[in-house]
Amino acid sequence: MTQMSNDAAPGFMLTENASLLRHNTLRVDARARWLAEITDVAAIPALLEQPALRDTSKLLLGEGSNVLFTGDYDGVIVTLKTRGVEVLPDAGDAARIRVAAGEHWDDFVRWTLAQGYAGLENLILIPGSVGAAPMQNIGAYGVEVGEFIETVEAFDLRERRFVAFSNPECAFGYRDSIFKRHPDRWLITAISVRLPRTHMPRTDYAGLADELKRMGIDKPAPIHVADAVVNLRTRKLPDPAVIGNAGSFFKNPLVATAQVEALRREYPQLPSWPASDGTSKLSAAWLIETIGFKGLREGDAGISNRHALVLVNHGHATGAQLWTLAQRVREGVQTRFGVMLEPEPRVIGAH
């Protein structure tokens, strides 16, 4: 293993033949030809001009909580370790905060709550970095981060310059954004959020109001909503510190409402939620549980017995083994329901 840092202009560390084991929460033991860890955004252009990297393929990575490496990566993995939170000039009706991509998302949410800013409480305890949050427009308990993002700052690897995206330019959707549609083009370096001064707690997601009632809270403040979400998430989802996983492995599929009605005739319990343009959202977890795959295990690759949407690594599963199991799940759901599940994490190296 060779390590290099740029003494003339410090701000990054390059490691050759790097282990990715600590860089993905599915705990896949893959390697990268190069790993570039950046501590100063100003160093990005110089880093990318390094002879070893200039013409090498590049993969942008945060904390690896939404990726599956199906094999080694023959290129350079670029990750930001930058820190910093800055309160920007007030917008009157909203606080504006800029935060560096390398911060932990959950630390940032907790910081906003400790400062008395509301809005992000439903998004507490989502693993990963701030820089990845706009990527799939992280969402939980009825809220998506795109509702609060004012600006996304990035380095354009194609044009080799720093750029900024306004909220509409990010094209946020369910687990979707312009960044997700063009992976590895823009290295997100910072985001700015706008947190409204008058804020109504959002407690309509199934189970949230009940959890608050159980906690004895009638009029929830943001911190109570955060505590309730922490309770629900801790109960429902396996902890990556205990068992390797990447959260939901599939998106909840959007299906034509007519097809949902036809399915409901056969499966009266089928959960669904109205979505846009004559479609409904189905619960991928319910589909997977109904075909009997919850808790399934093939070697060390498995489906969580706590949540049917979570692919788990019981120990030493390879990325290829996890991907094989994921495809078996997809085929099972497709055969029984005629619904194609799409992976939610980025699957790297699958053909």
Applying CB under 6 A, the span of 44-52, 62-70, 285-293, 322-330 interacting with ligand FAD comes to 62-70
Secondary structure (DSSP) of 195-235: EESS------STTHHHHHHHTT-SS--HHHHHHHHHHHHHH
Size of the site for ligand EPU (CB under 6 A): 19
Applying CB under 6 A, the span of 24-32, 79-87, 182-190, 244-252 interacting with ligand EPU comes to 244-252
- How far is residue 245's CA from residue 133's CA, in Å, rounded to a whole number? 18
Catalytically active residues, by annotation: 175, 248, 344
**Count of alpha carbons within 13 angstroms of residue 260, beta-carbon side:** 18
Q: Taking Cα atoms as reference points, which of 185, 316, 322, 173 lies closest to residue 246?
A: 322
Position 296 contacts ligand EPU (CB under 6 A): no
Do strands 12-19 and 31-38 pair parallel, antiparallel, or not at all (unpaired)? Answer: antiparallel
**What are the structure tokens assigned to 137, written together?**
């427009």
| Choice from 70, 252, 272, 318 touching ligand EPU (CB under 6 A) | 252
Q: Please say which residue, 144 or 150, places its beta carbon nearer to ligand FAD.
A: 144
Position 285 contacts ligand FAD (CB under 6 A): no
Burial class (CB in 10 A: 0-12, 13-18, 19+), 62: buried
Size of the site for ligand FAD (CB under 6 A): 34
The DSSP 8-state label assigned to residue 176 in this structure reads B
Compute the chain's Rg from CA coordinates.
21
Cβ atoms within 10 Å, residue 270: 18
Q: Taking Cα atoms as reference points, which of 44, 29, 279 lies closest to residue 173?
A: 279
Site string for ligand FAD, 187-216 (x = CB under 6 A): xx----------------------------
Position 246 contacts ligand FAD (CB under 6 A): yes
Nearest approach in angstroms of CB 232 to ligand EPU is: 8
Position 283 contacts ligand EPU (CB under 6 A): yes
| Choice from 35, 133, 309, 329 touching ligand EPU (CB under 6 A) | 309
Cβ atoms within 10 Å, residue 174: 15
Cβ atoms of residues 70 and 350 within 8 Å: yes
Nearest approach in angstroms of CB 20 to ligand EPU is: 20
**What are the structure tokens assigned to 121, written together?**
């409480």
Which partner, ligand EPU, ligand FAD, none, binds residue 25 by CB below 5 to 8 Å per kind?
ligand FAD
| Choice from 65, 122, 203, 304 touching ligand FAD (CB under 6 A) | 65
Residues 158-217 that bind ligand EPU (CB under 6 A): 205-206
- Give the bridge partners for 272, in sequence order: 282
Position 136 contacts ligand FAD (CB under 6 A): yes
| Choice from 237, 284, 312, 333 touching ligand FAD (CB under 6 A) | 237
Residues 160-179 that bind ligand FAD (CB under 6 A): 179
Residues 6+ apart with CB under 8 A from 271: 282, 283, 286
Position 293 contacts ligand EPU (CB under 6 A): no
Position 289 contacts ligand EPU (CB under 6 A): yes
Q: Taking Cα atoms as reference points, which of 52, 40, 42 lies closest to residue 14?
A: 52
**What length does the chain have?**
351
Applying CB under 6 A, the span of 36-44, 107-115, 279-287, 322-330 interacting with ligand EPU comes to 279-287
Residues 6+ apart with CB under 8 A from 148: 119, 120, 193, 194, 195
Residue nearest ligand EPU by beta-carbon distance: 247
Q: Please say which residue, 202 or 328, places its beta carbon nearer to ligand EPU.
A: 202
Helices (H) and strands (E) in the chain, counts: 9, 21
Q: Taking Cα atoms as reference points, which of 316, 311, 282, 285 lies closest to residue 299?
A: 316
Site of interaction with ligand FAD (CB under 6 A): 25, 60-67, 80, 101, 126-129, 131-133, 135-136, 138-140, 179, 183, 186-188, 237, 240, 245-247, 346
- The residues of the shown chain that bind ligand EPU, judged by CB under 6 A, are 140-141, 205-206, 236, 247-248, 251-252, 271, 283, 285-286, 289, 294, 307-309, 344
